[in-house]
Structure 1
Amino acid sequence: MVNYKSIAIDVKNNEIYVNPSINIRGFRADDVLQINDTEKAIDILEKYEVQSWKKDYTFEDPETYQDGYSWSLWLQFEDGTVEKHSGEGTDVEKLTPKNFREFAKELGSFVEEKINNKED
């Protein structure tokens, strides 16, 4: 199985959140980086047509297994609405969109490049 890092990008404010997490206390990140080309993230979302992905790829009851795999993608729009796509289970191929790995790799590379270069 491939492990993916959490990614959070605020396109409107041109920010990338370093090591983001969501828990009962809310949203947290180790750092916030200003970048100058967040529209590239939108290009990646459009390239992989993520808004056409199913909302839920889960195909089995989580009570039927102990260890599995999960993923989620949340898109929040200017009006505050949230669109969520996700999946969890034991068969990665069945619970992810066909182009998920390529999407995750490209978006992850974009974020890593920005974090490593720490633009001003």
Structure 2
Amino acid sequence: METVKLVIERQGGKELWGRVNYNDNLITDHANTVPELEAKIKTLLRDFEDVDPDTVEFVYLFDVYALFQRFDFLKISTVAKHAGMNPGLLRQYVSGAKNPSKEQAKRIEDTLHRLALELQEANILVA
């Protein structure tokens, strides 16, 4: 399996744009959802680079909007609370009204990773 970095960002409205750099070629496309965008990029990799889509695994790099669109089960106010930041500010990042600094983006990312680790340790009691 080959891993390829897929950058996903919102450009303008609510449309997601994705890009990969493969063999020094920039491949881009847009879609309404992450799965749709992933499928389109895999098709382009096949068409232009002769890559079997079944052998590609993406490493995702999301902007804040795309991240919360992809993981729509995340509650912005709860993530903000765990990150120790103002929920209104995080909502502005998600809406695109403001862009987070590198430090703020890292803070959000670290919080999500910490929450994911906590979830991995959760066990369901079977009665």
Normalising by structure 1, we get a TM-score of 0.32
Higher relative contact order (CA 8 A, sep 6+): 1
Larger radius of gyration: 2
Normalising by structure 2, we get a TM-score of 0.30
More helix by share: 2
